[in-house]
Structure 1
Amino acid sequence: MAQSTLSAQHAHEHEHQSHSVFGFWAYLMTDCVLFASLFATFAMFEMQTAGGPTPRELFNLNDVAYETALLLTSSLTFGLAMISAHFRKSRAVLAWLFVTALLGAGFLWLELHEFAHLITEGAGPQRSAFWSAFFTLVGTHGLHVAIGLVWLAVLAVQIMRRPQMTERGLRRLACLSLFWHFLDIVWICVFSFVYLGSVI
């Protein structure tokens, strides 16, 4: 009787895990649709600057390269956090998550600095269709990074309270890892399509 009860509980937990993973993948698919729509909108208004500043005049690819390096490196450090989690090394997980958070925060700081510079140069989101599409696309990605940082902080607090890495904790980290790597992929598209495509 006890064995059948444990089997039923295990089956219920496994079903709950499957639903959680499926739900997260469904969320990522909706995010793919969102960013695809934003990229399509940007392409529609490419170079529609209404006689105002052009991206070739204002984009600084060196700064964008620094942003890219920070975000891609944060993906690597998150991967190291996941490896540490699988070995149940909670202190190493927290250390790598902290480094990931610093890199992500640095990326956001550079992005906000770029936005401030563009607005100062008269290329704010209200200036033209191009700049409106640019701020919407890049800003939406930045908002996702900010949400990822909050999510990361919440998981770090949970790990500090319960240092023993459980299967549930691993699953939560894995979901955030997928989300973080997804943002890296989106940023590579932004760097290639928005920045390089507008300058070259």
Structure 2
Amino acid sequence: MAVALHGHAPAAWPPDAQYGAATPGKIGMWIFLLSDAFSFAGLLIAMGILRSGQPEWIRQGEPALAIPFTALLTFLLVATSLTNVLAWAAAAEGRRRAAAALLAVTAAGGVLFLAGQYHEWFGLWGPGLTEEGLVLGRSARASTFYVITGYHGLHVLVGVVYILAVLARYLRGLATAHHVELLGLYWCFVDFVWIFVFSFVYLMP
């Protein structure tokens, strides 16, 4: 590629391997993820504003959050990012069976995360936060907790459905490594956002 620089003779630029490599699907996914990041940022900022305006953030009778249990869920969700990346690598190398297995493991991890979140809220093998006194609408802490974690949980649920849809198409030969890569962008974003949710909602003193 030759261009004129300030009236001088044309100069040849070295070829760029990434020039024109982004597909419309990838560009669209990045635009969606960027806009989605603003929605999470807005929720976390709103929580910070509400929290700074209340002298007592934890009302009497409200339980503490189970940080060790949620930390385990966080590790599980982050681990699914690794299995998702490995699935894309396997698909790119043509190892279809390995790619399908890794996608299934990723979806299973998402389901386990949702089950853990359900247990945290309502209880599966013990009392949940709602039974212990953290009820939606009774305090700003309870409302922001359920709205933010629920909004993220919705993203995980959509991601699990997305993974299963791509997996079904991949097994029938209708999806390629490119589709697995687009899926990976969404799933890694969901995992990355959870790090911020966990840090601000659970760990902030």
Same fold? TM cut 0.5 = yes
Pairs aligned (count):
178
Give the conservation status (yes or no) of the 8 Å contact 1:52–1:127.
no
Residue segments in structure 1 that go unaligned for 5+ positions in a row: 1-14
TM-score for the superposition, normalised by structure 2? 0.80
Please tell me the residue identity of whatever aligns with 2:200: F
1:81 to 2:87 alignment: yes
Provide the residue aligned with 1:176 in structure 2: 183
Q: Secondary structure at the match of 2:176?
A: helix
Equivalence map 1:159-198=2 (5 Å): 159-162=170-173, 169-197=176-204
Task: Give the Cα separation in 2 of the matches to 1:24 and 1:80.
Answer: 20
1:72 to 2:83 alignment: no
Task: Give the Cα separation in 2 of the matches to 1:149 and 1:175.
Answer: 14
Provide the residue aligned with 1:103 in structure 2: 109
Give the conservation status (yes or no) of the 8 Å contact 1:24–1:175.
yes
Query: Which of the pair is proportionally richer in helix?
Result: 1
Answer with 1 or 2: which has the greater Rg: 2
Residue segments in structure 2 that go unaligned for 5+ positions in a row: 1-19, 123-127
TM-score for the superposition, normalised by structure 1? 0.82
Provide the residue aligned with 1:121 in structure 2: 132
Superposition misfits of 4+ residues, deviation over 3 angstroms: 47-54
Higher relative contact order (CA 8 A, sep 6+): 1
Kindly state the Cα deviation for residue 182 of structure 1 after the two structures are TM-superposed.
0.8
Provide the residue aligned with 1:133 in structure 2: 144
Task: Give the Cα separation in 2 of the matches to 1:53 and 1:121.
Answer: 8
Q: Secondary structure at the match of 2:51?
A: coil
What's the CA shift string for 1:42-70, capped at 9, x where partnerless? 1122275583444xx42111111111111
Provide the residue aligned with 1:30 in structure 2: 35
Kindly state the Cα deviation for residue 107 of structure 1 after the two structures are TM-superposed.
0.7
Please tell me the residue identity of whatever aligns with 2:26: V
Please tell me the residue identity of whatever aligns with 2:196: C
